[in-house]
Amino acid sequence: MTASDIPEISYDSAQVGTSVPLAESLAAAATALYETEGYAETARVGALLARDIVPDADHAGISLVERVGDVRTVAWTDEVIRTLDAATGCGAGCAMGWPGLWDSPVVRMEDIAACDGHGPVLTENGLRSALFLRLRGHQRRFSVLTLYSRKPSAFDDESVRVGRLFSAHLGIALDSVEVREQLAEAMHTRDVIGQATGILMGSMNIDASQAFDRLVRASQKGNVKLRDIASRIVEVRSTEQHPG
């Protein structure tokens, strides 16, 4: 994906930023996040908002960090972040700041040029300082908002304060949309399993409990999710009823 592939942002950038009072910026940001649909789009808008709101931030990205070491970048403001992610596999945060976020909600990198490991990759792309802000998470996983500046020692105490205020809004927004998507998926899964159970009851002349038990056994035997087993049964019946 290139920068031209990213659609126009779904918020009014004139309502946020350092030229607008902080309270108004945060209110506009909260509204934009609330009105955005889907986890991926909420994260993308969140990264763009963070870049506009936090003083001296030039680039931003959002990633999911697993305790086992897996990292996945889910949102970025521009191709600089994508280039870093491709070059380092983790936007460089895994080596510089993210390990400390297991114990602290904020990690500040004053001068990237002085860092070993991925430091040269970042400086080659014009980045000199970083601010890592842990979003909501748990013992095995958390999300992180990473802000980069083209100036060394760019993120002072005010940047941290504004960043933490904004990240609180963003963390809640991401959690909320994730819960909504999980509930929607659960409802869909329940409907599909119910349909599959009904199909087995009719075709095998068994009751609901027996039909569900057959689904569970098929799931366990084939090491396939129950939802996927049910979906296959529903698809086969649909094909039989509407061939071609």
CB 112 within 8 A of CB 130: yes
Domains of the chain: 3-178 (3.30.450.40), 182-241 (1.10.10.10)
Q: Rounded to an integer, what distance in angstroms lies between the CA atom of residue 33 and that of residue 73?
A: 19
- Cα distances from 193 to residues 42, 90, 190, 203, 213, in angstroms, run 30, 38, 5, 15, 12
- Residue 112 pLDDT: 81
- Residue 7 pLDDT: 39
Helices (H), the chain: 22-35, 39-53, 79-88, 93-96, 119-124, 157-204, 208-222, 226-241
Render pLDDT for 9-39 as a digit per residue (tens, 0 to 9).
Answer: 445 555 666 567 888 989 999 899 988 989 9
Residue with tokens 């087993």: 229
To the nearest whole number, what is the mean pLDDT of the chain?
82
Does residue 244 surpass a pLDDT of 90?
no
Render pLDDT for 116-137 as a digit per residue (tens, 0 to 9).
Answer: 666 777 788 788 898 999 987 7
Render pLDDT for 50-98 as a digit per residue (tens, 0 to 9).
Answer: 999 999 999 999 988 887 767 788 899 988 888 777 766 655 455 455 6
Q: Rounded to an integer, what distance in angstroms lies between the CA atom of residue 91 and that of residue 224?
A: 34
Q: Rounded to an integer, what distance in angstroms lies between the CA atom of residue 230 and that of residue 214?
A: 11
pTM, two decimal places: 0.73
- Residue 64 pLDDT: 85
Q: Rounded to an integer, what distance in angstroms lies between the CA atom of residue 16 and that of residue 83?
A: 27
